[in-house]
A and B are shown apart, each in its own frame.
Chain A
Amino acid sequence: DAKTTQPPSMDCAEGRAANLPCNHSTISGNEYVYWYRQIHSQGPQYIIHGLKNNETNEMASLIITEDRKSSTLILPHATLRDTAVYYCIVSRRDKLIFGAGTRLAVHP
């Protein structure tokens, strides 16, 4: 599976959009981009995934560059409950290999 690179930490003000970047320059054509998050001492929570088109659901939007070498997860209106570690993973729709993720802190 391709590896991903994410910033170790980010801050965001409550109510503002949180934009979390992810680089996956070695992604192959049949690999998807998945985003999960983990709140302290809980199991990871699925957020969104995509192949090459931008995706949106009730939680977030996923923007994938045309060359698919990077993506951005957007939380449109961050709340304090969005404080978590966010993982960007590329996978062939089977096993997920977690990297270090980005620790997002949402502050008042």
Chain B
Amino acid sequence: GAVVSQHPSWVICKSGTSVKIECRSLDFQATTMFWYRQFPKQSLMLMATSNEGSKATYEQGVEKDKFLINHASLTLSTLTVTSAHPEDSSFYICSGLETSRDEQFFGPGTRLTVL
């Protein structure tokens, strides 16, 4: 299947700092990418849909000014957690939509810990 990478795989930061997570589709072009968050022992929660060249669409309850999404190319989307706080500590997962196969391929996730 198609490959999606995320960087970094884990990050620890101090409260109040901003953290950027990259999501790359390595062998396909992803016009659409998705960002999810997963807390321990819970399911994945969709945060936003990222479309190349346009503004992201955020799910209800997700603050767009706190979770900045940029999808500047067909292979790269970034999520920036601004002014991170301990409650933002979570597992962040992205996916890319491979339109020729109607399949979403997921990255390995990024574990964010905010101290």
- B54 CB, nearest partner CB in chain A, Å: 15
Q: Count the A residues whose beta carbon is within 8 Å of the partner chain — how many?
A: 20
Given A94-B32, A97-B46, A99-B43, CB of A49 within 8 Å of CB of B103: yes
Interface range for B: 20 to 34
For A93, the closest partner residue in chain B by CB is B102
Check B46–A42 contact: CB distance below 8 A: no
Determine the distance from Cα of A98 to Cα of B43 in the docked complex, in whole angstroms.
6
- Interface positions of A from 34 to 53, Cβ below 8 Å from B: 36, 38, 41-46, 49
- B60 CB, nearest partner CB in chain A, Å: 12
Chief secondary structure at chain A's binding surface: loop
Chief secondary structure at chain B's binding surface: strand
Tell me if B105 counts as interface (CB < 8 A to partner A). Answer: yes
- Interface positions of A from 14 to 62, Cβ below 8 Å from B: 32, 36, 38, 41-46, 49
Known A43-B6, A43-B106, A46-B103; further 18 A-B contacts with Cβ < 8 A: A32-B102, A38-B44, A41-B91, A41-B109, A41-B111, A42-B108, A43-B4, A43-B108, A43-B109, A44-B93, A44-B95, A44-B106, A46-B104, A49-B103, A87-B43, A94-B49, A98-B44, A101-B43
